Structure 1
C-alpha cells in the first residue's frame, strides 16, 4: 500500500500537508522579488463597444491592440497569460507607468490601488475553491482603467469570473454598453467580490459537516481537518481584507476617470466586501469554538474513562480488604475455622459491591 494512502486513514497526511500550506499562504516577503515564469501561451481578447455597436474577437499578437486606443469607443482588452515583453509593449502605448508594470509582473502582491499618470490601477486576487484538494486557490489579476479603455491581465487562461460581462456586452440596452469604462471596471470588481461568496459558501458547507463530525465522534483525523480548514480561512481572510482598502480608495479618488454617477456602485461593492470580511471572521470564531468543542469532547471521554475506572476500583475494594484480612498469617483469627467461613466471605464480597452500586445510583453518580 502506498505510504501516503496509508497515512490518510490516521489523519497524518493532513498534518503533513499543514506546514507546506502555511508556506503557501504566508509566502510574501517584500524584501525578496520572486521570479515569475513566462507564460507559454498568451490569449488576447478585445471587446470594442458603444451603445450602437459591439465587436469582440481574439487577437493574434499584442500589436493588434494598439488600434483600439482613442477610437471613440470603450475597449476592454483581456490578456490571459503574462509575459514581460507584452506588458512592456502595451504599457508604452497605453501609458502604464513602469512601476505599475512591475506590479503586474509581480507574484504574491497584496491587493492595492494606485492612481498614476492618468490611469487607475487595481490589483487583487480572484478566488476559486478546489473541490478535489478542498483548498482555496487564488489568481492574481491586474486591472488598468484609462480614458475609454480597461486592460486586464490574468495568469490563468482556463478560468475567470467575467463571463456575465461578455454576455451583457451582446445586448444593446445593457448598462455596460450604455456607460463608460469606469462602469466596466466596477462590473469586473463586483464579479470578483461576488465570487468570494461562492468560495465562502463552499467553506461554510465544510464547516457544518465538520461540526457534525466533531459532535458525533472525536478522532485525530478530526483535529487534522479542523487545522487544515483554519488555514483555508486564513487564506480567505488574507485575500479579502485588503480589498476593503482598494474599494475605499476608489470611493475617495478624485480622478476624472471615475464619473460621479458610478461612485454609488463602488459603494455597493464596499458594502459587499465588508460583509464578506465579517463572514470570514464569523467562520474563524466558529472554528475556534469547534476546536474548543473537540478539546472538551476529549476531556469528557477521559472523564468517563476515569469514572469507570474509579467505580471498578471502589467495587473491588471490599473484596480486596476481606481477602487481605483473612489471608494474613496469624494463628488466631476470628471465624478462621468456621466451616461456612469461605461462603460468608464470598457472600460479603458480592453483597457489599451490589449495595455500593445502589448507593452510587441513588446519588446520581452514573448520570452524565
Structure 2
C-alpha cells in the first residue's frame, strides 16, 4: 500500500462524522416509498434467454426486447433475464407476457420491501440480492424482480456486472439435469435458493469482521473500536431489513394456491424457507453479539477509568501525611516542638516516609491494589 493511500486511510479518522459513518446512516434510513423513484436508466440493457426442455437448450444474448416475444409460446421452459431497467423496455416485455401494471411499477421501484404477489396468473417475487464490499466493509443490495408464468420465468436485475446465478446457468448447460426436466416453478425455486444461500456468504464475511472487532475491543478499547461497532450494527440493520421480509415472502409462496405451483415443487420452497429462518436466527445472534460487544466496550472504558482513579487516590493518600506534616511545621508560630532541634528535619522527613510505607503495607494486606 502506498504512502498516499495510508495517509488517506487514517486522515478520515480526524473528522468524527467520518469516523462514525453518518453518511452510511443516511443511506440506510433514507427510504420513503411515497416518493417517486428517480432511476438513472442505463445506456444499454443485456438480455439473456435460456429456452430448454429435458433434451435441448437454446442459450443466447439478445439485443432487443422484441426478440424475446417468440419465446412466449415455445412449448419449452423459458428463462429471460433482463439486466438493466428501462421503463419502456420493462413495459414492453411485461405487456407481452401479461404482467400487470401494478407489478410493472414494483419492478421499476427502488428500496421496495421484499414481497410476493399473485396477480392475474403471474406469480411475482421482489427481493434483494446481497453482496459484501470488502473495501468499504459494507453490505450492498441489488433489487431483483422475478415473474413466474406458465412455462416462463422473467427476471429483472439492476446491475449487469454481477449476480448469484452462475451455478444455475451451469446446471442448465448439463444434459438431462434435474432442472431441465422440471417445471418453471422449479426454476424459480433454484433462483430463490441461490439468492438465500448467498445471504449466508455475506453473513460469514460480516461475521469475520465481528470477530476482528471483538478481539480489538478486548485488547484495547478506543474510539475507533466504538466506531467499528457502530458501523457493524448498521450493516446488521441492512441484513435484517432484507432477510425478515424474505421469510414472509417464502411463507406466502408455500401457502399460495396458485396453479403455477404444485405439491411436488412446494417441498423445495419449504427447504428454502428453513434456510431463511436459519439466516434470520443467525442475524439475531449477530445482533446479540454486537450488543454484548458494546457493553464490553463500555465496561472496559469504565474499568480503565476506575484504574486511573484508584492510582490517583492512592497517590493522594500517600502524599497526605507529608502534606499534613509539612503544613504543621510551616505554620507561623514562635514555638513549635522540635522546630529548632538539630534532628527535627530528619525526624519530620522520616515520619513522612514511614507513614506512606505503612499505608502501602496495609493497602496490600486488604487487597486494595
TM-score, structure 1 normalization:
0.96
Alignment correspondent of 1:268? 271
Measured in 1, the distance between the counterparts of 2:224 and 2:121 equals 54
Superposition pairs of residues 22-37 of structure 1, within 5 angstroms: 22-37=25-40
Measured in 2, the distance between the counterparts of 1:315 and 1:331 equals 29
Counterpart among 191, 210, 215 of residue 213 in structure 2: 210
Q: Which moved more, 1:9-18 or 1:289-298?
A: 9-18
Counterpart among 282, 304, 308 of residue 307 in structure 2: 304
8 Å Cα contact 2:55/2:176 also seen in 1: no
Alignment correspondent of 2:50? 47
Measured in 2, the distance between the counterparts of 1:72 and 1:49 equals 9
Counterpart among 327, 351, 360 of residue 348 in structure 1: 351
Alignment correspondent of 2:90? 87
Counterpart among 249, 253, 256 of residue 252 in structure 2: 249
Shift of 1:340: 0.4
Measured in 2, the distance between the counterparts of 1:202 and 1:155 equals 23
- 1:17 maps to 2:3: no
Consecutive unaligned residues of structure 2, counting only runs of 5 or more, are none
Shift of 1:7: 3.6
8 Å Cα contact 2:51/2:76 also seen in 1: yes
Shift of 1:144: 0.3
Shift of 1:331: 1.1
SS in structure 2 at match of 1:142: strand
SS in structure 1 at match of 2:73: coil
- 1:187 maps to 2:190: yes
SS in structure 2 at match of 1:297: helix
Superposition pairs of residues 1-368 of structure 1, within 5 angstroms: 5=9, 7-10=11-14, 12=16, 14-15=18-19, 17-18=21-22, 20-366=23-369
Measured in 1, the distance between the counterparts of 2:196 and 2:219 equals 35
Shift of 1:223: 0.7
Measured in 2, the distance between the counterparts of 1:290 and 1:234 equals 16
Shift of 1:220: 0.7
1:109-146: CA deviations, max 9, x gaps?
Answer: 10011000111000000000000110000000000000
Measured in 1, the distance between the counterparts of 2:19 and 2:60 equals 48
Measured in 2, the distance between the counterparts of 1:5 and 1:167 equals 40
SS in structure 2 at match of 1:69: helix
8 Å Cα contact 1:114/1:120 also seen in 2: yes
Measured in 1, the distance between the counterparts of 2:130 and 2:207 equals 15
8 Å Cα contact 2:243/2:279 also seen in 1: yes
Q: How many residues align?
A: 365
8 Å Cα contact 1:45/1:56 also seen in 2: yes
